[in-house]
Each structure stands twice: as structure tokens, then as C-alpha cells.
Amino acid sequence: MTIEELEQIAKSVCQENEKYDFEVNVCMDLACSSQGAQQLKDALVKAAETSGKNVHIRRTGCMGPCSSGPLVRVDPEEALYHHVNADHAEAIVNSLGGAPVPDLQCDLNEHFDKQVRVVLENAGYIDPEKIDEYIARDGYKALLTALTEMTPNGVVHRITESGLRGRGGGGYPTGLKWGTVAKASGDVKYVVCNGDEGDPGAFMDRSVMEGDPHRVIEGMALAAYAVGASKGFIYVRAEYPTAVGRLTAGLRDARRRGLLGNNICNTPFNFDIEIRLGAGAFVCGEETALLASIEGKRGTPRPRPPYPAVSGLFGKPTLINNVETYANIAPIVRNGGKWFANMGSERSKGTKVFALTGKIANTGLVEVPMGIKLREIIEVIGGGVPGGHTFKAVQTGGPSGGCIPAEMLDVGVSYDALVRLGSIMGSGGMIVMDDTSCMVNVARFFIEFCMTESCGKCIPCRAGTAQMFTLLTRFCNGSGTMDDLELLESLCSTVKEASLCGLGQTAPNPVLSTLKYFRNEYIEHIVHKRCPAGVCNIQAPVTDQKEVLA
């Protein structure tokens, strides 16, 4: 495969597309599929055949506003239809060439206007299982350009220049990490993609893998070239069968096109990727646990240093990045580091994909420039809290994140700002809560998650999260005391500071942040035996339970 051949493919895809008068794109991401997108697509194909119109019905990845699914976009008009089902197929096909179907059209202009799509630029526009459609949208151009025109150092430099930071949660500078692996001594190196997305309410990485798998593959190939690796692994959780299927198809097609394998683009660069399935352990999203799992061992973290960059998979220098990080690579190499660095805030560059869920009108996937205010994400893009309820808090960063109250919504989203608020960026889950949520109960929920997902290796996380859960349960059932609260805070400190890996070190965040911003709710539960949100079932008086100390 050469750049000329790549351009030839792109051209033929365009010619193919031009044969059609209309394009009807059906979102077939998991959310839309679960609401009948497949039947809808079949009905559309049938309706198109009957009508005799020259229509291209295309399956695509995630278009964004999942709660409005199944979604259909008609091009070239760019009319977006929501809540479409098979019965609407005929009406949609009939409307082609005329006015859009009014009942189905959705007004999500504000939702989309504030977004900037880099990672999701193709999702919703290409068929994820057709490599040629990816190529037609500049796919693999960055890889071939890098292989033929750039040195590995040049690629690392471009990534460093972009200011990209790890999208898996930690926010470690990607260029620095690549540089470290590139400099590490050893003939054998690995690149690993962390697709073990496990945060409750997070589906950014799934949507990228399902909607645009080649973007991840290309990003990994560029990384392999930059650091000097010839073998890559994508670690995907087995609960994502569609993502696994599309990645498998993507790898197959990339090999067929000569974009993976030996002597790619007639250069000495060899690279191939294997998929490894996670068996459902949240902790395997932690990098050292993930590497242990790929090696076939029990998925438990180990102390760092040594960092994987020095001694990682099978003891070799290993570059490990998250799906979204790899998804940013190709556009950065293509458009230059400065282009990327122009987006975002001072120390957090580019865009970030968030999975917006909870008590919010427009549930789904959004991509926004770093630095955007939380308020804009929630009130404008998310459409605010529905049902006449008032906003109470937004939880960012999954179970390891914190709850941010309404007063703090004017803070711009960046790695550092969220840490200052007692939360983290995490991989990008964003759960909105309204006045019907009890913050003590929310904290209990997340601690229960961490407790069941703790690997059990280190004591603070294994036993500490279990004790925190016990104490939070006491608050929720009305048997907690102020002494218990003090004990809880003491436990938070030990679990946070003494745990071995990121899971334990961040597990107390939901408790600490709710204690910081919603302490009065804890006091209500403990002193007045009352749940202000009416969620907890407090039965007074409690017998055979610990009571208030003398």
C-alpha cells in the first residue's frame, strides 16, 4: 500500500457515493441497535427498493444523542431524525428530495453547535466495517505519511508539541510517555491499547471502537512506529462484543490492505495487533493489572516503578494508552501538533469525549473542547435537567471521581481544574444528578462498586472500601453516628494515601467530595435520621445496631 493507492481508494469511494442521489445514515451503535436500528435499516432498504429512488442506506457508528435513538441522518440535507422506527421507513424514503419528515426531525442545533469533533469526526459518517470509507476520510494517510516522510522522533515530537494528555484518566503527557518508551533500551517493545472501559455510565471508548475502529488501529500503528514496536495488543472487555467484532473486522481489513503486517508501505516497518479480551474485572483497566492480564496472569496491579515504559508487558518496554488517546493520534500527525494545541485550555489541549448520562435531557456522547464550562455541557449541550427538577451535582471520572455541586459549574473542564474540585477527568463519564438523588446514597453506590471491584491485593483498598461501605450503609439506614463519620474520614485518608494502585487511591473521592459539598446531607442522616432527598429508607428507632455513643 502506498499513498497513491490510498488516494485511489479514496477516489473510488467518492465515485461510488456520487452514484447515489441520497444518503440515509442509520446509527447502529449499541444504544440505537438495542432500540431496533437493525429492523429500521432493513425497512429503509426495502422502502428504497420499492420507491425506485437511488438511495444509499448506510450503517454508521454513534451519532451522539443516544437517548433520542434510533437516529437517522439524511444527507446531503443533514436532516437528523430521532426516535425512528421501522414504520417510519417509508415516510423517510418518500420525503427524499422534498421537505424533511416534520414529526421525526429533532432540534439539536444547540447540542451540536458547542461541540468540536476530532475523535468522533467519522463516527456517524462512515460504515465502521468498511475500511475504504475510513480511507476516503483521510484514514491511514497519517500513517503512510509518517512512514515515508517522518522519523520516529519526528512523530514523538509532533505528539509532544500537541500537548495531548492521556485520555484514560491520569492525564499523563502522551508525548513524554512515547519519548520514554522510544528511549527505553530493548529490541522488543509493545504498544498496548487500553479498551477496558469499566466506569459505570461510561461508553466513550466503546463508541469509538464501534464507530471508527480504524482510527484506533492507525493511532496504534503510528505509536508503534514512533517508539519502535512491532507488536500491539488491544485489551477490550468481553462485554463489548460489537466493539470486538468491529475491531476484528478492522484488523482483518487493514492486513488485507497491507496497512498492518510486514514492510508496511514498502518500508522496513512491521506491525500487527492482537485482541485480548478482558474477563470483566474493573481493576484490569489499571495499566499494570491489564498487562498482567494480557500475560495470562491474575489481573492485579503491581507497584510502580518500574513503569511499563521501562518494564511492561513480558518485562519489555511497553507503551500503554487508552482508546481515546490513540484516536487522537492520526489527526494530530495529519494536521500538526500546533493545530491540536490551539484547541483547549492552557494545560489541557484538544477535545474530550464525555458520556453524558443521568438526569439530563440529552443523554449520549459529546465531544467538547477542553476548557469548556461544565455549565455549558450540562445546560446547553445536555439540555439541562428534565422534568422540572433542579440540578444537584455532576459526577465526573466514574467511581473514582467526585461529585461537583451547582456552585462550581462555571469551572472550565481540564485535568487540573477537576482535581482541584476533588474530582478527576477520568475516562470521561459524566453522571448528572438532580434533587431526587441522595448524595450519601450516591457515595455508598460508588464505594460499593469499588469494594466489589477491588482486586484484594493491598489491605487499604480491600478491607478499607468494605469498611467504608459498612459505615455508609449505617448512615443510609439511620444507625450511623458522628463517631462513624469521623472514622469514615479517617478511612478515606488511609485508603487514598496508602493503597497500591489508582483504584484504591481514588476510591474515596466520591465520599470526600460529597462530604466537602454536601456534608449537611450526612448530618441530616446521622443526627436527624432523615434523608432530605427521600431516597434512604430510615426506620427509627433502630435496635440491635450501634447507637449514639455516650
Q: Point out which residues bind other proteins (CB under 8 A).
A: 281, 283, 298, 302-303, 305, 451-467, 470-471, 487, 490-491, 493-494, 497-500, 544, 546-547, 549-550
456 Cβ contact partners less than 8 Å away, ≥ 6 residues apart: 300, 462
- What cell numbers appear for 98 in the block? 422534498
Minimum CB separation of residue 422 from other proteins in Å reads 16
Minimum CB separation of residue 549 from other proteins in Å reads 5
Q: What is the DSSP string of 23-65?
A: EEEEE-SHHHHTTTHHHHHHHHHHHHHHHT--EEEEEES--S-
Task: CB nearer to other proteins: give 277 or 459.
Answer: 459
Task: CB nearer to other proteins: give 145 or 467.
Answer: 467
Minimum CB separation of residue 461 from other proteins in Å reads 8
235 Cβ contact partners less than 8 Å away, ≥ 6 residues apart: 192, 193, 194, 195, 196, 276, 277, 278, 284, 290, 293, 294
Minimum CB separation of residue 46 from other proteins in Å reads 48
320 Cβ contact partners less than 8 Å away, ≥ 6 residues apart: 191, 192, 193, 194, 287, 290, 291, 308, 312
Q: Cell 418518500 identifies what position?
A: 94
Minimum CB separation of residue 304 from other proteins in Å reads 9
Minimum CB separation of residue 494 from other proteins in Å reads 4
Q: What are phi and psi of 344, to 5 degrees?
A: 95, -165
Contact 110, 303 (CB under 8 A): no
Minimum CB separation of residue 365 from other proteins in Å reads 30
Task: CB nearer to other proteins: give 14 or 527.
Answer: 527
- What cell numbers appear for 366 in the block? 459529546
- What cell numbers appear for 330 in the block? 492520526
Task: CB nearer to other proteins: give 5 or 448.
Answer: 448
Task: CB nearer to other proteins: give 304 or 389.
Answer: 304
Q: What kind and span of H or E run contains 497?
A: helix 482-498
Task: CB nearer to other proteins: give 14 or 548.
Answer: 548
Task: CB nearer to other proteins: give 99 or 549.
Answer: 549
Alpha helices in 295-350 (DSSP H): 323-335, 337-341
